[in-house]
Amino acid sequence: MKSKTTTQNSSSSSASRVSARWSQERRLEFIDYRLRWDGHLNRSDLIDFFGISVPQASLDIARYTELAPGNIQYDSSARTYLTGPQFEALYNIDNPQRYLNDLLIDASGLSSEGGVFLGWTPPVGLIPIPVRMVSAETLGCLLHAIRNRETVVVKYQSLSSVDAETRTLSPHSLVFDGFRWHVRAFCHLRQSFRDFVISRIISIEAGALSTVTIQDDVAWHTQVSLVIAPHPDLPIEQRKVIELDYGMQNSEVRLDCRQALLFYLLKHLGFSGREAATPQAQQIILKNEDEVTTYLT
């Protein structure tokens, strides 16, 4: 049975964690976010989201108004705070990609309490993607091995062989290719660094300390620059749209990618495993294709 002192210390520690998590700085960022993407804010938004008192919510809004008077204005008829006409974000919330990522997390049902600052949200549709099942035991064992620089002994079913093979791996990183998770590891059987689909690991056991480190994986540390441009056979009006779509400067954009992940990126961009397509179907080209393909292993 815990003593009263221990319980009090535990409660105090818990309260400190909550206080740190919901500091005024965090609440000011929330105000900034809601004004930018919702267009309005009420004290009740702060009260409901952070569990704070009415006076504290008023103080937070007053502090925000002091810091950015042009960002917020009070509409007495609607009894709400509106975004000011000269809004300039105080925090790193003005990136559309952050908002869209928040929408994705929320629509996927993966948002934890307080994880995103969304208020009103538009209807969102997601393309269903089959879930690649990853065993919690397998993932936990891999994380332990990466953290402690140890090997694991796995039974792995690849699509290049009929039977599963037993391999000793020295894992150093996790990789997401956009559809499934891999573990990047040195394969002691093949004597090379490779990617292994985690869901294809049938069984796993902890091994010994590994003599291989992440620094030994040259392809992991080698950066490859891809130069992307609109397809030259598109009409000029359509090329301009592609330039805008990809944020190109001087009709091109550069993407830096680890050599170890190059295959996945080329596949996503449509530069791998496809027959020649029309310019409308394959709207971009890889200007430095000859240079890039020398890095494929």
Three state DSSP letters for 62-88? HHHHHHCHHHEEEECCCCEEEECCCCC
Which residue ranges of the chain lie beneath pLDDT 70?
1-22, 273-276, 297
The string over 85-114, giving b where at least 16 C-beta atoms fall within 10 Å of a residue's C-beta and e elsewhere, is eebeebeebeeeeebeebbeeeeeeeeeee
pLDDT attached to residue 7: 41
| Buried b / exposed e along 149-187 (16+ C-beta atoms within 10 A) | ebbbbbebeeeeeeeeeebbbbbbbebeeeebbbbbbbb
Output the CATH code of domain 136-216: 2.30.30
Q: Where are the domains of the chain?
A: 4-107, 136-216, 222-293
- Amino acid in position 90: L
pLDDT for position 176: 94
Q: Specify the pLDDT at position 275.
A: 57
Per CATH, is 4-107 categorized as 1.10.10? yes
d(CA 286, CA 89): 36
Give the pLDDT score at 1: 39
> pLDDT tens across 64-93, in order?
999 999 999 999 999 999 999 999 999 999
Distance CA 234, CA 242 (A): 10
